[in-house]
Amino acid sequence: MESLVSDSLDSAAAQNLGRASLQIIHDIKNQLNSLKLYATYLRKRLDPEKEADLLATVAKLVAGLDRAAEDLNGLVRYGRPLALNLQPGVDVRQLMQAISANFDKSEPGEAPARAFLSPAGEAFAGTFDAGALAEALRTIAYEAWKTGASKGGVAPEARLSRDPDQSQPSALIEWAPVSFGSNDVFKSFNGSLGVKMSLAAKIIEAQGGSCEHQGSSLRVRLPLSR
């Protein structure tokens, strides 16, 4: 199935598609949650010693319903306006340090996490919604890390710096190397990954930033205070 890229739709068509889809998605999500309740009930009633195979099947069913509900919830959030609480003095470096601390360990067979790199003595404060921005950056960092960790390859390195190509003070965060294929991962709604990354990009763009997927790297630019 060919992936849907947001650039292939004009603005009016995208808005109409979003309005038509939101209620349907909401209803489907409620149905999936009901199925999950039934499956969870069955799992509790099964005897693990006598019905191990059936129990494993039900566990897989619950996990699949969880993933589907999460994807639908992401689509609903993407289609609705963002309510941001912007505050001055939010430190991008601190957000990235907290996020990277979650990737300082790896399981056997996975790629070790790379250190988060940033220049000493530089200021990276701006006016952002700290919670929303942290959520978006965490999503990008985790999906970037998975491209190396899940394949036993090289985990990407996260690097924060000042962007010299911008007219106003800007932070540049880059993850490399990553491997997401040829489609722009921030604009493709192909599967769970596409939904999560598109929502992350929407959150960042709503705060004056931008997201870029080029070759083997991901870049996020964020406006900083003067």
Domain ranges of the chain: 6-79, 87-223
What per-residue confidence (pLDDT) applies to 109?
46
What per-residue confidence (pLDDT) applies to 113?
52
What's the pLDDT tens digit per position in 165-183?
777 899 999 998 888 877 8
Note if the bond before 119 is cis, omega within 30 degrees: no
What per-residue confidence (pLDDT) applies to 103?
64
Average pLDDT of the chain to the nearest whole number = 79
What is the pTM (predicted TM-score) of this model?
Answer: 0.73
Please state the rounded mean pLDDT for residues 198-205: 93
Report whether pLDDT(96) > 80: yes
Higher-pLDDT residue of 37, 83: 83
| Residues whose CB falls within 8 Å of the CB of residue 168, separated by 6 or more in sequence, listed in order | 223, 224, 226
What per-residue confidence (pLDDT) applies to 7?
53
Please state the rounded mean pLDDT for residues 96-115: 63
What per-residue confidence (pLDDT) applies to 67?
77
Residues β-bridged to residue 223: 170
Residue bearing tokens 């009633």:
45
Least confident of 15-19, 110-114, 146-150: 110-114
What per-residue confidence (pLDDT) applies to 108?
43
What per-residue confidence (pLDDT) applies to 212?
94
Sign of the torsion angle spanned by Cα atoms 39, 40, 42, 46: positive
What per-residue confidence (pLDDT) applies to 160?
93
Pick the CATH number of 87-223 from 1.10.340.30, 3.20.20.70, 3.60.15.10, 3.30.565.10: 3.30.565.10
Higher-pLDDT residue of 82, 95: 95
What per-residue confidence (pLDDT) applies to 167?
78
Least confident of 72-81, 97-106, 188-197: 97-106
Tokens of 2: 């060919």
Report whether pLDDT(1) > 50: no
What per-residue confidence (pLDDT) applies to 115?
58
CA dihedral 108, 191, 180, 84 (to 10 degrees): -100
In 67-198, beta strands by DSSP E = 87-91, 116-117, 125-128, 157-162, 170-176
Report whether pLDDT(218) > 90: yes
Report whether pLDDT(85) > 80: yes
Neighbours of 48 (CB within 10 A): 10
The single-letter DSSP state of residue 215 is T
Q: Could you give the residue ranges of the DSSP H alpha helices within 88-176?
A: 92-100, 130-149
